Amino acid sequence: MSNFKELEFKFKADDVKLQDFLAFAEKYNPEIRKDASSWDFYYVNEANQDEFMRYRDSDKPELTIKRKVNANNNWERVEVDLPLDPKYINKSTVDTWVALEGYKQNFCIYKTCFILWIGNINTVYYIVYNENMKEVGRFIEVEVNKDAVPKLGTDKAFEELKEFEQGLSTLGLSPQNRLKKSLFEMYRKV
């Protein structure tokens, strides 16, 4: 199951300038940088409103299921991303498939992301917009690359995550600022 383990810390970053984040990340000599934007559609399970799926409608679309490991936060979750072929799959197909599984769309957001990969860690600054393209939040995440977790083991992976997190202090962020809620929990319609 460690191939599907998501280990991440998320921070509210409304007061952090994008250029400050990029300058911070560049100090670590990232191997890759990717800028990406897409719609994320969140579907809730009608029988259990805490279960959800996310359809990312991007150049590499995917359907994702996430499950908490700890009810108190989202720092460790099971995450399974199902890559979809954009030649054959579209939102209408996803809507129909998830409906048959007992899910219905709850909300959608648009994300503009600036992602950098640094060793076993990836870090991202992203801006979230609602369905009317009104900005509703800025966030910074640091995450252990999923393929690194099995090699490192959960304890060592968390050590690397916490070590990288220490550098965020230059942006005014600290472990005390970690968010415990996911985007789903923050933006879902009740």
* Residue 80 tokens, joined: 């399974």
Give the β-pairing of 135-144 and 5-12. Answer: antiparallel
How many alpha carbons lie under 13 Å from residue 135 in its C-beta half-sphere? 8
The pLDDT assigned to 14 comes to 97
Mean pLDDT of the chain: 96
- Cα distance between residue 25 and residue 87, in whole Å: 35
Which residues of the chain carry a pLDDT beneath 50? 1
pTM confidence score: 0.94
pLDDT at 85: 95
**Residues in Cβ contact with 117 at an 8 Å cutoff, skipping those fewer than 6 apart:** 30, 31, 32, 33, 145
| Domains assigned to the chain | 2-187 (2.40.320.10)
What's the token pair of residue 118?
């640094």
- What's the pLDDT score for residue 100? 97
The percent of residues in the chain predicted with pLDDT above 90, rounded, is: 94
* Per-residue confidence (pLDDT) for residue 3, from 0 to 100: 78
User: What's the confidence (pLDDT) of residue 128?
Assistant: 98
| pLDDT in the model for residue 2 | 53
Contact 112, 21 (CB under 8 A): no
